[in-house]
Amino acid sequence: MQRKRLTSEDLSNNSERTRRLLYDLLAASYFRKGPPRNEQDMREWRYGPEDVGLEVFYLHGRWFGKWTWPEGTADPDSRRELVLLQVEQDGELVQVDV
């Protein structure tokens, strides 16, 4: 099954269809339960999107993804992730740390 290519137009409006597509793409990119491929992937492979409270939302004309890692430092701010979701010319989704 070939995955749908994104366009800038896809990200230009707030729809449940777009939110769900972005959620699925972000979840597949960051959270894959199973054995890690290497030490660097350890955290990403240990948790699923539900475990970290993954949310995708639209604000001021842009799409964002956010989650909180359940473990790490005692400071919850250092465990929080926020990314801006953009699409490149070739249709690939890009996550930019905010």
Assigned domain for 84 exists: yes
Total of domains in the chain: 1
In a domain, 38, yes or no: yes
Query: By mean pLDDT, which of 12-16, 17-21, 37-41, 58-62 is the weakest?
Result: 37-41
| Mean per-residue pLDDT over the chain, rounded | 81
**Chain position carrying tokens 């366009």:** 7
Confirm whether 4 is domain-assigned: no
Whether 49 is covered by a domain: the verdict is yes
Tens digits of residue pLDDT in 30-75: 776 666 666 665 555 677 899 889 999 999 999 999 999 887 666 7
Q: Structure pTM?
A: 0.78
Specify if 45 maps to a domain. yes
pLDDT of residue 84: 94
The neighbour count for residue 52, using CB atoms within 10 Å, is 22
Assess if residue 51 is contained within a domain. Answer: yes
- What b/e string do you get for 25-44 counting C-beta neighbours within 10 Å, with b at 16 or more? bbbeebbbeeeeeeeeeebb
Range of the domain at 70: 10-97
